[in-house]
Amino acid sequence: MENLRKVWTIAYREMYSTFTQPSLIAIMFASPLILATIISLAFGGGGGTPTLENIPVVIVNLDQGVSNLGQDTNNALNFNSGQIFVNAFVPGAAENSNAAPTGAQGCNVTVSDSGNVQTSLFDLTDAVMLDDPAAARAAVDEGEYAAAIIIPADFSQSITYSQAHQQVNPTPIEVYGDSGRTVTPGVIRSIVESITNQLLTGQIAVAATIDTMILRAQADPVFGLQFATAGSNFQPNFACAFTGALNNIKIEQQTVAGERVEFNILVAIGSAQAVFFALFTASAGAASILEDRRNWTLQRMIVSPTPRVVILLGKLVGTFTTVLVQLVFLFIGFTVINSIMKGQVTFLWGTNWIAIILLLLTTALAAAGVGMITAAAANTAEMANIIGSIISLLMGMLGGAFFQVQALGSFEFITRLSIVRWGSEAFAKLAAGDGDIGGNILFLALIGTALFAISLWIFNRRQDI
């Protein structure tokens, strides 16, 4: 218990010394906020206007379709729900399609942001078709496409309501995103989800219509006779109900989690800048061990009845907490700036609070870990600061703090070495309403813990500490 109190005493002093220095506060908080805001304004992304277009997408439609809607099997309505996705994304596909339901042609899909600006889905995406899912995924991995939409063979079957198949339980459509892109896979995912939802809505309408007709036919023999003799004349046009032509896809509102999606460069640059500056803070914080050694305050702690590991843990906790406080304030700051730009309160990073908290904690852990290992490897505080600055700059560049990492093309995999990349990508996903950040959180937690452990081991072995 006494040792825990000592850990906190050391950590508190670290934070006190940091947060009572105006110059440090300016670097930690003002710099990233100002830089990211300027960059996002310069690239016109501050107001939430869609700035994305021609997102490269590949679609693989494996859907076998269904043919049981019509009463007359000779004139059965071939219905392929997967083709609806193809028609929505690929220009001209509807005209060439035999599998699409009658009337699907001309059901133009539009994308709306805030209901004011409408963009054709054809403008937003640049979609092509492939037959092989593996080839599609490989092309995404190589960075050729932002995402691959792979529609399973039983998709139509799984969502189609009939008397024989009264369960509407859709087989998931796979959206295989390029992990190198922070926003666009999320956009595609939200559109696919949106179309799927509309298909389900249409199915519910079909089910209700057919059930109503059957019930009425059972109750009213005259109507039943007419219904039974209708035969091939019963060809209801449900197509537009499925395509979403009657309901524009509002990409701000239709996401997997039902949350807002922002096309905002402030998200990408801001999150990268925040993690980048957190690395600087972590390096400086960790280097305080070496400063303490130079000032003999470390030796003074060592000659007190305080185990060496307690001193190091205190330093680690201090660095971690300082970085965490910085990240929290920066992400709140970006939210405020974005809200001011948009003229309304907007939760820039979404409202998945548990994911946000976990991501903040693991990002702070990873940044602090990088700082600690830098200090452990250096002999002096000056050397630690220089090495820390170089590492921070490299990670910042690779992580998208200064430019979009897609610019690196096939070398984009290098960016995976940067915790800025892992952190900012996850924050961008959250901002896009995509809660699939488990991999990022796991990586950040593991790298942070590993670096902490290694630096603790090095410090503990060093005779001069």
Partner 1 sequence: MSETLVEARGLVKTFKRKDGTEVQAVKGVDLDIQKGEIFSLLGPNGAGKTTTISMISGLLGPTKGDAKIGGFSITKQPMQAKRLMGVVPQEIALYPTLSARQNLDFFGRMYGMGGAELNQRIEEVLDLIDLKDRQKDKVDTFSGGMKRRVNIGVGLLHKPQLIYMDEPTVGIDPQNRRRILDTVLRLRDEYKMTVLYTTHLMEESQELSDRVGIIDHGEIIAMGTVGDLIQQVGEQDNLVLKVGEQNVDATLRQRIESSIEGVTSVIFNPPAQNTESQAASGGDLVVKAKRGRKALPHLIQIVNEAGLEIMSVEVREPDLEAVFLHLTGRALRD
Find the binder of partner 1 among 25, 168, 213, 302 (CB under 8 A): 302
Residues 58-97 touching partner 1, rule: CB under 8 A, are none
Residues 331-370 touching partner 1, rule: CB under 8 A, are none
Question: Smallest distance, Å, CB 293 to partner 1?
Answer: 11
In the bound state with partner 1, the residue whose beta carbon lies nearer, of 304 and 410, is 304
The rounded distance, in Å, linking the Cα atoms of 112 and 115 is: 5
12-20, 235-243, 384-392, 422-430 -> range binding partner 1 (CB under 8 A): 12-20
Phi, psi of 174 (to 5 degrees): -85, 125
Find the binder of partner 1 among 2, 92, 169, 222 (CB under 8 A): 2
CB 396: neighbour CB atoms within 10 A? 22
Question: Smallest distance, Å, CB 384 to partner 1?
Answer: 18
Find the binder of partner 1 among 74, 116, 410, 463 (CB under 8 A): 463
- Alpha carbon separation from 330 to 61, 241, 288, 430 (Å, rounded): 43, 44, 23, 16
- Alpha carbon separation from 392 to 157, 233, 321, 333, 341 (Å, rounded): 52, 70, 18, 21, 29
Find the binder of partner 1 among 4, 5, 96, 353 (CB under 8 A): 5
The rounded distance, in Å, linking the Cα atoms of 396 and 209 is: 57
In the bound state with partner 1, the residue whose beta carbon lies nearer, of 226 and 297, is 297
In the bound state with partner 1, the residue whose beta carbon lies nearer, of 18 and 264, is 18
104 binds partner 1 (CB under 8 A): no
158 binds partner 1 (CB under 8 A): no
Find the binder of partner 1 among 22, 92, 221, 305 (CB under 8 A): 305
The rounded distance, in Å, linking the Cα atoms of 354 and 357 is: 5
462 binds partner 1 (CB under 8 A): no
6 binds partner 1 (CB under 8 A): yes
Residues 282-301 touching partner 1, rule: CB under 8 A, are 295-297, 299-301
Question: Smallest distance, Å, CB 295 to partner 1?
Answer: 7
Residues 412-441 touching partner 1, rule: CB under 8 A, are none
Encoding tokens for residue 343?
């003229």
Question: Smallest distance, Å, CB 328 to partner 1?
Answer: 24
The rounded distance, in Å, linking the Cα atoms of 155 and 57 is: 20
304 binds partner 1 (CB under 8 A): yes
The rounded distance, in Å, linking the Cα atoms of 303 and 400 is: 45
3-state secondary structure of 202: helix
The rounded distance, in Å, linking the Cα atoms of 278 and 240 is: 50
Strand arrangement of the beta sheet that strand 147-151 belongs to: 125-129, 55-61, 147-151, 174-177
DSSP class per residue in 52-114: ---EEEEEEE----B--SSSSGGG---B-HHHHHHHHHSTTHHHH-SSSPTT-TT---EEEET
Do the strands 249-250 and 174-177 form a parallel or antiparallel pair, or are they unpaired?
unpaired
In the bound state with partner 1, the residue whose beta carbon lies nearer, of 5 and 216, is 5
Find the binder of partner 1 among 44, 231, 307, 438 (CB under 8 A): 307
Note the residues at the interface with partner 1 (CB under 8 A). 2, 5-6, 9, 13, 16-17, 20-21, 295-297, 299-307, 463
